């Protein structure tokens, strides 16, 4: 179980971050895989049903909030689903920290991208489609990077990780 807990969540988060960086999209399959993996691992580790329910409620609350953000055009749909799937793993215990860390990282990422967009893009970089898209002032910011990094930072403190590591 420890191997699965060690590799699965981080691998999916890294995949989501790179996917958002290169394509400005996060596949629904990533969020579905995160949710399915959480429930499978929680059951395999013997987490109490009440605890699993609290984590599910946390994910649902974040899904509702982030889809409000999505409906207002503040974040992308993939970001909303990734944040809620991450909240499922993080739980209410670390949700405020997750929001704060993701906001700080996302703000720093946004400021960095906006600063770089003010410079002309060298021709050899402009030929790279994903770099040209990142540099385009009309394009969004791959906020999934900040969401994934915040989740990775907090993951070693989560109940599911601690349970896997102790057993």
Predicted confidence band at 160 (pLDDT cuts at 50, 70, 90)? very high
Whole-angstrom distance, CA of residue 145 vs CA of residue 92: 21
Give the pLDDT confidence score for residue 6 in this predicted structure: 80
| From 1-10, 54-63, 67-76, the region with the lowest mean pLDDT | 1-10
How is 38-85 classified by DSSP, letter by letter?
Answer: HHHHHHHHT--HHHHHHHHHHHHHHHHHHHHHHHTTSS-HHHHHHHHH
Q: Which residue has the higher pLDDT, 139 or 96?
A: 96
Residue 4 three-state SS: helix
- Percent residues over pLDDT 70 in the chain: 98
Three-state SS at 127? coil
3-state DSSP assignment of residue 161: helix
Please tell me the predicted confidence (pLDDT) of residue 15.
Answer: 98
The rounded distance, in Å, linking the Cα atoms of 104 and 91 is: 19
What is the arithmetic mean of pLDDT over 135-140?
A: 90
pLDDT over 70 (residue 2): no
Q: 95 pLDDT exceeds 90? A: yes
Determine the Cα–Cα distance for residues 167 and 82; give it in Å rounded to an integer.
28
What's the rounded Cα separation, in Å, for the pair 41 and 165?
A: 12
- The first and second tokens of residue 159, run together, are 């109940």
Q: How confident is the model at residue 85 (pLDDT cuts 50, 70, 90)?
A: very high
Please check whether residue 70 is in contact with residue 80, taking contact to mean a CB–CB distance below 8 angstroms. yes
The pLDDT score that the predictor gives to residue 1 is: 60
Give residue-wise pLDDT tens across range 106-136: 999 999 999 999 999 888 888 899 998 999 9
Task: Please classify residue 51 by burial: count the beta carbons closer than 10 Å to its beta carbon, then call 0-12 exposed, 13-18 middle and 19+ buried.
Answer: middle
Could you give the dihedral angle defined by the CA atoms of residues 45, 82, 99 and 91, in that order, rounded to the nearest 10 degrees?
-20
């Amino acid at each position: 179980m420890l191997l699965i807990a060690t590799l699965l969540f981080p691998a999916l988060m890294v995949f989501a971050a790179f996917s958002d960086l290169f394509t400005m999209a996060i596949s629904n399959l990533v969020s579905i895989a995160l949710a399915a993996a959480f429930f499978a691992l929680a059951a395999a580790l013997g987490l109490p049903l009440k605890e699993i329910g609290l984590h599910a409620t946390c994910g649902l609350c974040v899904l509702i909030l982030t889809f409000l953000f999505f409906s207002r055009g503040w974040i992308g749909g993939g970001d909303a689903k990734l944040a809620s799937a991450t909240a499922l793993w993080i739980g209410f215990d670390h949700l405020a920290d997750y929001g704060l860390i993701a906001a700080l990282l996302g703000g720093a990422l946004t400021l960095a991208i906006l600063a770089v967009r003010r410079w002309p893009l060298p021709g050899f970089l402009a030929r790279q489609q994903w770099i040209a898209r990142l540099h385009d002032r009309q394009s969004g910011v791959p906020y999934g990077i900040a969401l994934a990094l915040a989740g990775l930072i907090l993951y070693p403190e989560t109940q599911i990780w601690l349970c896997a590591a102790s057993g």
